[in-house]
Amino acid sequence: MTDLTELTAVQLVDGYRKGVFSPVEVTRAALERAGRIQPEVNAFVRLTEEEALDRARRSEERWRRGEPCGRLDGVPVTVKDILLTRAQPTLRGSRAVSPDGPWDEDAPSVARLREHGAVFLGKTTTPEFGWKGVTDSPLSGITRNPHDPSRTAGGSSGGAAAAVALGAGPLALGTDGGGSVRIPASFCGVFGLKPTYGRVPLYPASAFGTLAHVGPITRDAADAALLLDVIAAPDARDWSALGPAPGSYTEALAGGVRGLRVAYSPSLGGQVAVRPAVANGVRRAVQRLADLGAYVAEVDPDFTDPVEAFHTLWFSGAARVVQHLRAGQRELLDPGLREIVGAGSRYSALDYLAAVDVRMELGRRMGRFHEEYDLLVTPTLPITAFEAGAEVPKGSGHRRWTGWTPFTYPFNLTQQPAASVPAGTDGDGLPVGVQLVAARHRDDLVLRAAHALYGAGPG
């Protein structure tokens, strides 16, 4: 018998169309799986069984009439508890946020899912205000890795990635301000895409400014393309959103990689120490691209680590997030968040603008780089998942989560599309991710290359 929790969104929609199974059957299976994994993995802030089943029943009736209301009608989805969801509290991983309403508005991406008939299973976990690259918070505790619960799922969209990896819905909405979709996708062995900034509208605006993207976490690139086709629609509430997408991302998948110019950078020019098992997995993925007809050259982009500029922007954003809190509320915050809030509050406007200058120069360099190369390929992370409950790996010498994510946050500074694709496992069975990066507005190339890798065989 088919395990409904193992099917992709594309397969579910095809099954609904053919009458092979129903949205109610699929939703019940997804909810059962979510309830079963929750005690050990802790992927959810809350499950919304009653609402999910009600939406599934209405979807089932629409499919019975042959009148689905959208491209995801009846498909179970989860939403990171950073994004507003109507009639549900959005607590953002914080005890300082009151659950009292009214919660009467959807974020743009959530609104698009609702219009297309998606079934909301629940809200997934996040570190407090999404501030770090692992998922634990004073509100909801530690989210654990689906491959080894003693390890972290990564973050800040850790609950979303763990849920997808374990079959609690094939589609998840995450956010990514410095790697927060790609980090957990890599650690959990699923697909994660940070689209070009503004491709998916965001409201309310993030205090982290134009570093913050909304993106899909899914089983594969085809599901991500389908989800992006739905959520990449303009919304008047986001003044920085892009106009309509240039075409269907799903249709663009068929283009393949033959003839694409691929730059392979194993360590950003020796700036990053990458574990051998990770390097080997990424190298194999690059070889697959070459076998599929891409022109591959080992080339490094021309930039040095922009971490200090990123810290200035990120820590300032954190200070802004909690600026309205009273002293007693601040005592409820994650201690690490309080630390970076203190650092962020000491930056001047000139410090901030100097960081913006670094960002603009990095964007210029990457813009010129992509005049010569269609794609940049790197490891998503230099390591695999480490112990749960820690911001940095034990004994690493890193102070903050940015110490072990040097491949991800630069592309938030530049606003480029970037994805993490599974690329095998290390000796402990923990997933490895390969990162694909393209020029701004070329989300289609990232998805095409990722889809080609999936088609070439399991990573």
Exposure string over 285-304, b if 16+ CB within 10 A, otherwise e:
bbebbeebebebeebbbebe
Known catalytic membership, residue 267: no
Amino acid at 283: R
Known catalytic membership, residue 180: yes
Q: Diameter of the chain by CA atoms?
A: 63
Task: State residue 458's pLDDT score.
Answer: 62
Task: State residue 183's pLDDT score.
Answer: 99
Amino acid at 60: E
Domains of the chain: 8-307+347-455 (3.90.1300.10)
CA 90 to chain centre: 18
CA 73 to chain centre: 22
* CB contact at 8 A, 295 and 430: no
Between CA 379 and CA 377 the distance in angstroms is 7
pTM of the predicted protein model? 0.98
What region, left, alpha or beta, does residue 86 occupy, with left being phi > 0 and alpha being psi -120 to 50 degrees? beta
* CB contact at 8 A, 371 and 438: no
CA 435 to chain centre: 12
Q: Residue 217 contacts by C-beta under 8 Å, 6 or more apart in sequence?
A: 157, 160, 161, 164, 171, 172, 173, 174, 181, 184, 185, 190, 191, 192
List the alpha helices (DSSP H) in 215-323. Answer: 221-231, 249-252, 276-291, 307-321
Q: Residue 26 contacts by C-beta under 8 Å, 6 or more apart in sequence?
A: 4, 7, 12, 56, 74, 75, 76
* CB contact at 8 A, 178 and 233: no
Instruction: Determine which one of 59, 137, 156, 420 is catalytic.
Output: 156
Instruction: Determine which one of 22, 59, 80, 94 is catalytic.
Output: 80
* CB contact at 8 A, 45 and 121: no
Task: State residue 294's pLDDT score.
Answer: 98
Instruction: Determine which one of 22, 109, 140, 180 is catalytic.
Output: 180
Task: State residue 28's pLDDT score.
Answer: 98
Q: Residue 233 contacts by C-beta under 8 Å, 6 or more apart in sequence?
A: 108, 112, 201, 244, 245
Task: State residue 459's pLDDT score.
Answer: 61
* pLDDT single digits (tens) 21-75: 999 999 999 999 999 999 999 999 999 999 999 999 999 999 999 999 999 999 9
Low-confidence ranges of the chain (pLDDT < 70): 1, 458-459
* pLDDT single digits (tens) 275-324: 999 999 999 999 999 999 999 999 999 999 999 999 999 999 999 999 99
Task: State residue 457's pLDDT score.
Answer: 80
Task: State residue 67's pLDDT score.
Answer: 98
Known catalytic membership, residue 94: no
Task: State residue 96's pLDDT score.
Answer: 96
